[in-house]
Amino acid sequence: QVQLQESGPGLVKPSETLSLTCSVSGVSISDYSWSWIRQSPGKGLEWIGYIYSSGSANYNPSLKSRVTISGETSKNLFSLKLTSVTAADTAVYYCARGGSHSTGIDRWGQGTLVTVSS
Amino acid sequence: SYEVSQPPSVSVSPGQTASITCSGDKLGDKYTCWYQQKPGQSPVLVIYQDTKRPSGIPERFSASNSGNAATLTISGTQAMDEADYYCQAWDSSTVVFGGGTKLTVL
């Protein structure tokens, strides 16, 4: 079955770049779109962006200037980079399958907490 | 930017019907999805394309979307349905989440 696993540093300093990777098993990333979503402590879901199977991406306009999502088909993973982080970027970050189509976001990783603090 | 709104909380008695609304300008012209999130867990897709249930989602979950509102309905609500529910739509290829509704079964 499809499984997604986020990985990356749990602590990032202010002004630095947050980098996360999502390893996918059970399906090729070339066959779907893939999303990053975050959730600040005690808050709701915030969509960060998604990457199409073609490799192009769409981003949340509020984060667009700081976000890059890329895919690595040879390793079957996709990644998130968020630059110039502040405490407001502290959140659980989820990688997930889907987002570009009306079929929704149908598989989610377990999420990883990233704290921005010096 | 496009926004959708949900009530912060809804309460329902066990066995009764719970309805959670999601409001947005001309939302009925867009596809919507609904997600269930229990404490400490990742969200789960319960409705896609306005009305469709993924495999494994109980029949008591249904939804509609028309005009300026989408509605998630849970018939015969069970204690296990207590969770946060999020609606989601698309606007110009961007994903928009509602703020979430905490469903309490009491």
Q: Does B92 touch chain A (CB under 8 A)?
A: no
Residue in A37, A103, A108 closest to B48 by CB? A103
Average pLDDT, chain A: 96
Decide if pLDDT at B89 tops 90: yes
Q: How far is CA A79 from the centre of its chain?
A: 7
What gap in Å lies between CA B72 and CA B81, rounded to an integer? 12
How far apart, in Å, do the first and last CA atoms of chain A sit? 39
* Max Cα–Cα distance, chain B, nearest Å: 39
Q: Does B2 touch chain A (CB under 8 A)?
A: no
What gap in Å lies between CA B12 and CA A116, rounded to an integer? 38
CA atoms within 13 A on the CB side of B33: 24
Point out which residues pair with A78 in neighbouring strands.
Answer: A22, A71
Question: Tokens for B1?
Answer: 């930017």
Q: Does A110 touch chain B (CB under 8 A)?
A: yes
Question: Do A68 and A17 form a contact (C-beta atoms < 8 A)?
Answer: no
A112-116 and A11-12 beta bridge pairing: parallel
Residue in B33, B93, B97 closest to A46 by CB? B97
Strands of the A3-7 sheet, one edge to the other = A3-7, A18-25, A77-82, A67-72
Q: Which residues of A touch B88 (CB under 8 A)?
A: 45, 104-105
- pLDDT tens, A60-82? 999 999 999 999 999 999 999 99
Residue in B93, B95, B97 closest to A44 by CB? B97
Higher pLDDT, A55 or B16: B16
- Percent of chain B at pLDDT exceeding 90: 96
DSSP letter for A40, please. -
Q: A75-92 b/e with 16+ CB inside 10 Å = b? A: ebbbbbebeebeeebbbb
Cβ B98–A105 below 8 Å, yes or no? no
Residue in A62, A94, A99 closest to B95 by CB? A99
Nearest Cα residue in chain A from B1: A61
Question: Do A23 and A80 form a contact (C-beta atoms < 8 A)?
Answer: no
Q: Which residues of B touch A50 (CB under 8 A)?
A: 95
Compute the average pLDDT of residues B33-48.
Answer: 98
Q: Give the pLDDT band of residue A101 (cuts 50, 70, 90).
A: confident
